[in-house]
Structures are given as C-alpha cells and as structure tokens.
C-alpha cells in the first residue's frame, strides 16, 4: 500500500513538474483558452466569460421563440395566419434591447483593445521576429545583437539536443532553438516576414499579429510564469504552414543572462546547458527535494 501511495505521489509530482516545465500548449479536446500567462490574457479570458452571460441567454431566447412559433403558428392549428403589420411595443423592445446589450459589450471591449495597444511600461528587451517559409529568424536587439533561426524539431535531432521528452517538447510544436526571455520582464517583439504573409501567435500570451513583408508590426508581453509556451503561424503561408511552430522558453533573469552571454559565442552549447539545468531542476522537484 505504501509503495502504491508513494508511486502515486511521485507520479503526481512528476506531472506537476512537467506542467510547470511546459507551462502551456494545445491539448486534445480543448474547448477553452490555454492558461493565461500574461495580464492581457487574463483580461481576454475575463472578457470571454463576461460575454457568455449575454450570448447564452440570447441563444436560449431565440431557440425558445423559434420553437414557440413553430408549435403555436403551425398550419394545422392556425389555418388563417395573422395579418398584423406591426407592433409598437415589440419594435421598441427589439430596438432598445440590442442597443443596451451592445453598449454593455462595447465598453469593456474598448477597454481591452486600449490595453492591448498600451504597454504599462517600457520594454526592457526587444526581439525582431522575421517569418520565412517555414521557420522564424530571431534577432535580439541588445548591445551585442544575437541572431538565430528557429525551425520545427526533427525527430532525428531530439537525442542530440536533449529534447526526447515529448511532454515538454511535443511533436509538431517543439523547435530546435527556442526564443528565450526572462520572466516578469516587458518584451517587445517586432514582427515581419521575408516572403509571404505569416502570423506570430502565442495563445497563452494573448498576442497575435500578421507578419507582412516590407512592414513591421509590434506586439508585447510580460510573462508571469517560467516554462515553455507554444504557438504556431496562424496565416496560411504555403504547403508547410502546419509545420511552422513558435516556441518561447521563459526562464529566470539569472538564467536568461547566463544563456544570452553564452549564446552569443556558442548558441547550441548555451541551449544544451539551459536545457540540462531546467531538466535537472524538474527532476529535483519530481523527487520531492
């Protein structure tokens, strides 16, 4: 019995550690948003739940009225249809009612839109993301710039990169080189494209913008929790559109500074060291230490 309990606790700890490591990614049969990792995504989630208080009653009301009319005014019990041309009270209700509902929806939606385009503070890190068919180029706008390419992770490369855990590095979402950013830091991403229109989307951050050749769009985020976050190109961009993931690894500020310093001279080595450190931390957490 003790072994069963201990095994269950160990599995639960591993699950929690894995969840912390992966942070957010698509899940099978998912019906709601991914867990929010930024303040903006919390606002988006609240707004979605808020609008459901209008959408569900309206849907049920329309369903009831349709059913009522079908039953009450069917030909078998109403051979002589009504010739009523208008009803002032009903016309006032169906005019004023929707106006009030739209006002209740419009005010918080405008507030959310304003917040999405108004960062609460200046960005401490700026990264340029250039979309290609079918990968991403990232350029860190630091004093000594760092540039690298990020493409979907091939199964043959998993062992060499230390990314064999398919829970943390899922199929079709994991990449060879993730964008690495520090937690609780305002990050600005300048998004453009080198060939056709793509889109940079990270659901758990609440951001999504088109990557247009010859134009730069700007998004920003401040992630609350360390871990892995996955998104995808969200604009049909060619035959390999489904194989163009976006992976962002959020780490502590110390880990980020160490990675950045090493990555400027040896990106593969810096990534391996960071992966090994995070894996070790996850194993320690799973062991209950």
Nearest to 150 by CA among 127, 168, 167, 166: 127
What token pair was written down for 59?
Answer: 């849907």
For 14-75+119-289, give the CATH class.
Answer: mainly beta
Can you give the C-alpha Rg of the chain in angstroms?
Answer: 25
What is the C-alpha to C-alpha distance for residues 170 and 166, in angstroms, rounded to an integer? 5
According to DSSP, residue 242 is labeled G
Does 219 score more than 50 pLDDT? yes
Flag whether the pTM goes above 0.75. Answer: yes
pLDDT (tens digit per residue) in 187-200: 999 999 999 999 99
pLDDT (tens digit per residue) in 265-287: 999 999 988 988 887 777 766 66
pLDDT (tens digit per residue) in 31-68: 889 899 999 999 999 999 999 999 999 999 999 999 99
Does 6 score more than 80 pLDDT? no
Least confident of 10-19, 156-165, 219-228, 270-279: 10-19
Only one residue has tokens 């009903």, namely: 90
Average pLDDT over residues 27-34: 85
Cβ burial of 23 (10 Å; 0-12, 13-18, 19+) is buried
Q: Angle of helix 267-287 relative to helix 2-22, nearest 10 degrees?
A: 150
- Under the banding of pLDDT at 50, 70 and 90, the label for residue 161 is confident
Only one residue has tokens 């917040």, namely: 115
Nearest to 232 by CA among 36, 24, 20, 31: 24
Helix residue spans in the chain (DSSP H): 2-22, 39-72, 88-116, 158-161, 253-263, 267-287
What is the C-alpha to C-alpha distance for residues 107 and 119, in angstroms, rounded to an integer? 19
Q: How far is CA 182 from each of CA 126, 135, 179, 197, 222, rounded to the nearest angstrom?
A: 12, 23, 10, 29, 9
**Phi, psi for residue 246 in degrees, rounded to 5:** -125, 125
Where are the strands (E) in 185-278, listed by range?
A: 187-193, 198-202, 207-211, 217-221, 227-232, 245-251
Say how many C-beta atoms besides its own lie within 10 A of residue 110's C-beta: 10
């Amino acid at each position: 019995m003790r072994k069963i309990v201990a095994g269950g606790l160990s599995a639960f700890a591993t699950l929690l550690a894995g969840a912390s490591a992966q942070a957010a990614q698509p899940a099978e049969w998912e019906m709601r948003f991914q867990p929010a990792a930024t303040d903006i995504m919390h606002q988006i989630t609240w707004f979605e739940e808020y609008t459901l208080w209008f959408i569900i009653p309206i849907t049920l009301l329309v369903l009831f009225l349709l059913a009522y009319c079908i039953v009450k005014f069917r030909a078998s019990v109403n051979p002589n249809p009504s010739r009523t041309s208008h009803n002032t009270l009903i016309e006032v209700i169906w005019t004023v009612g929707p106006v009030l509902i739209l006002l209740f929806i419009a005010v918080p939606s405008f507030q959310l839109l304003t917040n999405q385009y108004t960062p609460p503070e200046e960005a401490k890190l700026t990264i340029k993301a250039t979309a290609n068919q079918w990968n991403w180029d990232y350029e860190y706008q630091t004093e000594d710039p760092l540039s690298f390419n990020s493409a979907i992770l091939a199964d043959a490369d998993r062992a060499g990169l230390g990314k064999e855990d398919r829970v943390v590095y899922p199929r079709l979402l994991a990449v060879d080189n993730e964008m690495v950013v520090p937690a609780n830091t305002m990050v600005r991403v300048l998004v453009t494209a080198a060939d056709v229109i793509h889109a940079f989307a990270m659901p758990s951050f609440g951001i999504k913008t088109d990557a247009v050749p010859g134009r730069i769009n700007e998004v920003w985020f401040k992630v609350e929790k360390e871990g892995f976050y996955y998104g995808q190109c969200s604009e049909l961009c060619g035959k390999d559109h489904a194989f163009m993931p976006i992976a962002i690894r959020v780490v502590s500020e110390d880990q980020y500074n160490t990675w950045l310093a090493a990555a400027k001279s040896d990106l593969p080595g810096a990534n391996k060291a960071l992966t090994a450190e995070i894996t070790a931390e996850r194993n320690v957490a799973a062991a209950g230490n």
